[in-house]
Amino acid sequence: MPFPIDVTRCLAFCETNAPLRISTIPFDALRAAMAERGLREGDEIIVEALTDGHVLATKRDGRRVVVERKHAVMIEVERRTPLPSPWRIAVRPARIPPASGAPRPKPGSDALRCRQSAR
């Protein structure tokens, strides 16, 4: 017998750090249990971690939800692209220290003042 949900759309087997939307929670009892945890159909989430027994997801409002993997198998999700604006991350360039052989700016020089103001 084939699995009732396409595995690529199953919360238990989705990839981490991908924006998702809960599309279907099929059973009333499961829907009520997920509502107690704060997870409902239509919620937008990002899965932070998958373990053998649990799925850790973060909702759009920042709340974390833990779902047992046996329940997550039945929850159908849709991939959301692009990432919703509250989850956009401002990327800051990494500071790369000068190579050990590179000359260092002299105290009081313009290069040192520029470097300190950039911090």
pLDDT digits (tens, 9 = 90+) for 88-110: 544 444 455 555 555 665 666 66
> Alpha-carbon distance 19 to 76, whole Å?
14
Can you give the CATH number for the domain in which 51 is found?
2.30.30.90
Residue 102 domain flag: no
Is residue 119, in this structure, part of any structural domain at all? no
User: Domains in the chain: how many in total?
Assistant: 1
Sign of CA dihedral 17, 22, 28, 34: positive
Per the domain annotation, does 104 fall within a domain? no
Looking at the domain assignment, is residue 38 inside a domain? yes
Per-residue pLDDT tens over the stretch 9-67: 899 988 888 899 999 998 999 999 999 999 999 999 999 999 889 999 999 888 999 99
Is residue 86 predicted with pLDDT exceeding 70? no
| Residue 19 counted as domain residue | yes
pLDDT at residue 21, as a whole number: 94
Whether residue 71 lies inside any domain: the answer is yes
pLDDT computed for residue 58 by the predictor: 92
Give the predicted TM-score (pTM) of the model: 0.62
Q: 74 lies in which domain range?
A: 7-87
- Specify if 25 maps to a domain: yes
Exposure of 86 in the CB half-sphere (CA atoms within 13 A): 8
Tokens of 43: 């919620």
- Identify whether 41 is part of a domain: yes
